[in-house]
Amino acid sequence: MNLTQNFNWSELDRNSLADLLYLLKDKIVKIRLSNEEFHKIVTCQIRKFLPLRTKKGYYPDKKAGPPAIGGCYYSDHDRCREKSIEIIILYNQKHTHVEHTHQSFLRFCTVFADTVLHEIIHMRQYRKRRFKSLPDYASTAKKTKQREEQQYLGNSDEVDAYSFNIACELNDRFEGHKPQIVQHLNKNQKGSRCRADCWLMYLKAFNHDHNHRIIKRVKKRVTYYLNRSQIEKPFHKKDWITY
């Protein structure tokens, strides 16, 4: 079945996307699977219900951990009405097998949902402006790695997409309590042992400078998305994300 044509992306929400993978729990949780077996089970489930590309990748050698998820949106494929969102599952090269607990697999499913919605936001951005690209943020950081990271994260499209991800993460963490979320956004977290999330990623990239214009933009956009995070959808209108 060709899911690509006339697929209604507006029907997807964070909970339904996570549940789509969590349906596999009896085949995955507390079962020792090879990377290949795990990859086949997960990607078959994704392709069965969603018009997404899937790809297998690996952590850099110095990193280790359970399977992680990344994503890409390809505007040139979308313009031709081909599959334009790719989900990349990253594996630890040192480990040949995967064994998830209920908690770790639920986390994997949630990251999958957040990644898909992040790329759908990019899809809407490009469709709305007829597939024109926006320039990256012009970073002046001295170190190459930080400059490249700031150029990527400071891009207007990424600020918007990550802001929805941050709103969802903080909504989960603080159980929808907006004053606590706002307080957390304004808190100086340099040197603190906060859990790794998208907000901390931005703070680290921009030196924990709450006066930096990118950090200010992210805060403003996260606040905008807080209500949307509670309904688990970045949009309330179907325009631009339904063919």
Percent of the chain with pLDDT over 70: 95
pLDDT at res. 62: 58
pLDDT-above-90 percentage for the chain: 81
- Mean pLDDT to the nearest integer, 198-203: 96
Question: CA angle 119-125-129, nearest 5°?
Answer: 150
Q: Determine the pLDDT at residue 3.
A: 58
Q: How confident is the model at residue 15 (pLDDT cuts 50, 70, 90)?
A: very high
d(CA 148, CA 136): 10
Per-domain residue ranges of the chain? 9-128, 144-231
pLDDT of 218 reads 98
- Lowest mean per-residue pLDDT among 17-21, 113-117, 142-146, 234-238: 234-238
pLDDT tens, residue by residue, 43-65: 999 999 999 999 999 887 656 67
The average confidence (pLDDT) of the chain is: 92
Q: How confident is the model at residue 240 (pLDDT cuts 50, 70, 90)?
A: confident
Instruction: Give the pLDDT confidence of 77-115 residue by residue, as tens digits.
Output: 999 999 999 999 999 888 899 999 999 999 999 999 999
Q: Do β-strands 33-34 and 68-73 pair in parallel, antiparallel, or remain unpaired?
A: unpaired
Q: Are 127 and 81 in contact (CB under 8 A)?
A: no
Q: Over 80: is that where the pLDDT of 237 sits?
A: no
| Confidence class for position 1, pLDDT limits 50, 70, 90 | very low
* For range 218-239, the mean pLDDT: 92
pLDDT the model gives residue 71 = 97
Query: SS3 breakdown of the chain: % helix, strand, coil, rounded to 5?
Result: 50, 10, 35
